[in-house]
Structure 1
Amino acid sequence: MPLSEHEQRMLEQMERALYAEDPKFATALEGSGLRTYTRRRVYQAIAGFLVGVALLMVGVIIPQQIWISVVGFLVMLGCAGLAVTGWRKAPKPGERPQAGGGGPAARRQSRQRRSMMSRIEERWQRRRDEQGH
């Protein structure tokens, strides 16, 4: 569903405000999408997993320091979890990321988001009216 002219103007104003406030952050957001972010996150998790394997091996080699093996295993477990969840959340090529699934929680969150947006829009209109008069 395309945005109305009013919504497009509001979006452009917010973009300009973001660029004026923090241009470095704005260009970072512009350059990297969700796919790039999740791919980078998965690569970091894989690297962390390998560090966990190394810690596990060091702990096995040094028998007095068994806690190093435990830490390595926990690092491996955490990084594997991050990699799997990051991989699942990554949108497929050519697909647009969705705000939520389709379950009741996602619909409730979408409804709350819409009501929040309507409140923001009402406040915006009030400010514009107050400035105009």
Structure 2
Amino acid sequence: MPLSEEELRLLEQMERALVEEDPKFASTLRGTSLRRTARRRAIAAGVVFVLGMAVLLAGAMTNWIVGIVGFVIMLGSAIIGLNAVRGQQAAAAADAARTSGHPSHGFTVIEGGRRPRGRSLRAPRSSGSFMERMEERWRRRRESGGF
């Protein structure tokens, strides 16, 4: 249920009062520190990725176990780096939504309830079970001489 105009106005007044009273806390709530943390994490993951690549190359020249360890280091840092970049993008999108000028300041309506009739998440079912379809395919192949 969306907020009324009066509730949005009160929420905006409360937010302004919070910013005036404690700007550092308000900045933390906006997500600027989250963006900064995500950027640091992405840079650190890039550095660790390069170190993992060096370990991988050293392992290729010396011992294959060291190479496997280097690959695992690279894989882990790539996953952490991608998650950090996604977090940074999400924080930037949240900041953009807050500064959009709309009185709701980034609040969104989440659609809930039942799915509309006629739309299904599953693909339409074909006739027959899996085994029946496989038998039909096999029969067609044998009749056409493809096998």
TM-score normalised by the chain length of structure 1:
0.48
Structure whose CA Rg is larger? 2
Query: Larger helix proportion, structure 1 or 2?
Result: 1
TM value normalised by structure 2: 0.44
